[in-house]
Amino acid sequence: MTKPTLAEVTDFLRDHVSQRTKVPPEQILGSTVLVDFGLESIDAVLISGHIEDRFQIEVEPSLMFEYQTLDEVAAAVVALFDKR
Amino acid sequence: MSRFYLGLSTSGHDPALALIDEDGRIRFAEATERFLQDKRAWGAAPDLVGHLESALAAVGFDRSADQVVVSTSWARVKAALPVSISNAMLPVSDGLWLRGLQAHAQASAGDSLLRLGLAETRPEVRHFDHHLSHAAAACSSAPFADGLCLVIDGEGDVGAASLFRLREGRLGRVWRSWGPGSLGSYYAWLTGLCGFDWRAGEEWKVMGLAAFGTPDERLVNALESMLDIVDGRPRLPEQAVIDAAVARAKPYGRGPRDPIERAADLAASGQAAYARLVDRILESCAGLGERNLVLSGGCALNSSYNGTIRGRFGFDQVHVPSAPADDGNALGAALLSWMQDHPERPAVAGLGSPFLGSRADPKVIDGAVANCGYSQVTRAGGEAGLAILAERLAAGKIIGVMRGAAEFGPRALGHRSILADPRPHDMKDRLNQRVKGREPYRPFAPVVPADRVGDWFDRPQPSPYMSFTLPWKAEVRDRVPAVVHADGTGRLQTVDASSDPWMSGLLSAFEARTGVPIVLNTSFNVMGKPIVHSVQDAMAVLATTGLDGVLLEDVLIEKAA
């Protein structure tokens, strides 16, 4: 798969965080720490799987725990394409 | 100097080790439980000093010149991530226990090299994805080089199912599931509700008992709802759905002391729900257009289901390796490690031999002959030996066999087997009462010539490792009642002269006397113990049970008639 834009990944993540936490997407800011929205460890695991399926790139299970905010996770996903 | 690739199964349960040489040949593979004589060897090191030492000796390792490269069957320590443990199916305490064992096994892998003087500092260890290890091991024995490989188990590095595509012997991942949705955990939970203990590996009992029950449609539907299958991936539904299913199933359950038959309908329904769930995974694979399927992971031990796959979902051939559960991952880790160093070489494609373990020590056989005190000792190899053994079996004798290298995987396939005549109606009870001590509802298995399967079974297919249960043809069931299960099926082992000339010859010799080319084959152990490992183990079973004799290589030791 071709490298997605940062905005594509951010939007995708925001939707999934919203689905898992029931927080409206417009309230999920890129700079807010994800656990502050109530994102639990199991949510982080499942979202990692969605990232892998949607963007067809192998994700480390530690991804969502190493990076704290939506923006940081999105940037890390995009960076995976640069490392391929 | 030569380099050996040591693969270790580091799940914390079912530890095992495997050795591959510089040329990519599988030289040794064996579960630690055999060496320790402790079922599943929970918490034991897969590179246990004594076991590793004997394995290195078996492959001719030269400690002055050769090297060992260590690898494990997990990419990481599960407990290193702050992921909460799901209690949807199994108690959190079980999950915590497993994580602790896995962490310890991963952390200490290879340390035995220090004790053996093969390393001066802790060795560098390679770590491989758990499901990829399953897939690599399974595909190395497949009789085809292209197809799909589905791994389903209790849990892997990120989830409990992975799909790989096999192309000219090379594996590429198609997808993997994430999170706690798990067929293995479902079956473990079912095992508990049936009054058995998954930690003791009693999933077998559920499968055996299922033949005595009738699936209850509403119960099957409820049990099926305990997992969602989304694009092939097992996922947990909402907790309320699971709670409702558990509430419906509970009245069908049994306590450990309740009569066994109380759980028969639950076992049958649970097995039916399992079949529907795996069917849905395979349906999602059908669109990929592959004709060959490799199935592995602990769930691939469900021989009842395995026997239903071929001819459906577009699969013409189904392969299940001899060791699909976590013991087999020792081989997978070793293979992946070897492939990492030899990217230009063809992938390892074994001849599929499951006989990869320890051999009987000839000196101890001599010691047994000289000192055992049993009245009849016969040395006879070749045709003469087969004729004597066939004659004894036809006369109703129950004989333990220890020949050649031990099987890798849970099934005795004729090298560490107890053999008997399948024709007498009372043979099953006699075996249980005199030797095995097993519950009467569990079936015994037949060995059948590969080219005659169609004479005896419906849906005939190869089953070299007893991985598939098939229906006996209705008209032959009365001829071999000791190996026909309550539902008319048999978990058969197929043999041919090229892959196993000895067993093939025995079937011919038995047929010459009885007209039946089939022998009953059950594992050479007593209930609660692993399959025998040493000659001493075999002699202990002879001395302490009603076994009539043991065949140690070509030496038949028998009790007085």
Is there a contact between B158 and A48 if contact means CB atoms under 8 Å apart? Answer: yes
Residue B123: the pLDDT is 96
- What pLDDT digit, counting tens, does each position of A31-48 carry? 988 888 888 889 999 999
* pLDDT band with cut points at 50, 70 and 90 for residue B351: low
Domain that holds residue B336: 3-139+327-341
Structure tokens at B331: 């081989």
Q: What is the DSSP letter of B306?
A: H
Minimum mean pLDDT range among B72-76, B278-282, B419-423, B526-530: B526-530
Is there a contact between B177 and A49 if contact means CB atoms under 8 Å apart? Answer: yes
Q: Residue B67 forms beta bridges with which residues?
A: B3
Query: Residue B547: which CATH number?
Result: 3.90.870.20
Residue B320: the pLDDT is 98
User: Measured between beta carbons, which residues in chain B are less than 8 angstroms from residue A42?
Assistant: 83-84, 86, 179-180
- Which residue of B76, B81, B176 is the best one to mutate when testing the A interface, meaning the one whose CB has the most A CBs within 10 A? B81
Residue bearing the bigger pLDDT, B347 or B330: B330
Asked if B300 and B331 sit in the same domain, the reply is no
- Average pLDDT for residues B155-183, to the nearest whole number? 95
Percent of chain B predicted with pLDDT > 90: 92
- Average pLDDT for residues A66-79, to the nearest whole number? 93
Residue A58, pLDDT above cutoff 80: yes
Residue B561, pLDDT above cutoff 80: no
Is there a contact between A45 and B178 if contact means CB atoms under 8 Å apart? Answer: yes
Residue B83: the pLDDT is 87
* Interface residue B83 vs chain A (CB under 8 A): yes
CB atoms within 10 A of CB B211: 20
* pLDDT band with cut points at 50, 70 and 90 for residue B53: very high
Tell me how far apart the alpha carbons of residues B352 and B244 are, in angstroms, rounded to a whole number: 45
Asked if B310 and B250 sit in the same domain, the reply is yes
Q: How far is CA B472 from the centre of its chain?
A: 22
In a domain, B404, yes or no: yes
Asked if B206 and B316 sit in the same domain, the reply is yes
Residue B350, pLDDT above cutoff 70: no
Q: Is the dihedral of CA B271, B272, B276, B279 positive or negative?
A: positive
Is there a contact between B178 and A46 if contact means CB atoms under 8 Å apart? Answer: yes
Contacts of B503 (CB under 8 A, 6+ apart): B413, B414, B447, B495
Asked if B298 and B370 sit in the same domain, the reply is no
- What pLDDT digit, counting tens, does each position of B377-397 carry? 999 999 999 999 999 999 999
In a domain, B354, yes or no: no
- Average pLDDT for residues B185-203, to the nearest whole number? 95
Asked if B48 and B74 sit in the same domain, the reply is yes
User: Measured between beta carbons, which residues in chain B are less than 8 angstroms from residue A44?
Assistant: 83
User: How many residues make up chain A in this entry?
Assistant: 84
Residue type, B467: S
Q: At what angle do helices B183-193 and B203-210 cross, to 10 degrees?
A: 70
User: Measured between beta carbons, which residues in chain B are less than 8 angstroms from residue A45?
Assistant: 83, 158, 178-179
Between chain A and chain B, how many beta carbons pairs sit less than 8 Å apart?
43
Residue A32: the pLDDT is 84
Of residues B175, B179, B233, nearest to A42 (C-beta): B179
Asked if B131 and B152 sit in the same domain, the reply is no
Percent of chain B predicted with pLDDT > 70: 99
Of residues B76, B86, B178, nearest to A49 (C-beta): B178
Tell me how far apart the alpha carbons of residues B226 and B249 are, in angstroms, rounded to a whole number: 11
* Interface residue A65 vs chain B (CB under 8 A): yes
Q: What is the ipTM of this complex?
A: 0.94
User: B544: closest CA among B522, B529, B555, B556?
Assistant: B529
Residue B472: the pLDDT is 98
Residue B536: the pLDDT is 97
Query: Residue B225: which CATH number?
Result: 3.30.420.40
- What pLDDT digit, counting tens, does each position of B523-535 carry? 999 988 999 999 9
Domain count, chain B: 3
- Evaluate whether the domain defined by A6-83 bears CATH number 1.10.1200.10: yes
Asked if B104 and B171 sit in the same domain, the reply is no
Tell me how far apart the alpha carbons of residues B256 and B199 are, in angstroms, rounded to a whole number: 14
Average of per-residue pLDDT values in chain B: 95
Characterize B220-255 residue by residue with b for buried, 16 or more Cβ atoms within 10 angstroms of its Cβ, and e for exposed: bebbbbbbbbeebbbbbeeeeebeebbebbeebbbe
Residue B535: the pLDDT is 98
Asked if B413 and B472 sit in the same domain, the reply is yes
Residue B309: the pLDDT is 98
In a domain, B302, yes or no: yes
Asked if B54 and B93 sit in the same domain, the reply is yes
Tell me how far apart the alpha carbons of residues B519 and B536 are, in angstroms, rounded to a whole number: 25
Tell me how far apart the alpha carbons of residues B445 and A14 are, in angstroms, rounded to a whole number: 55
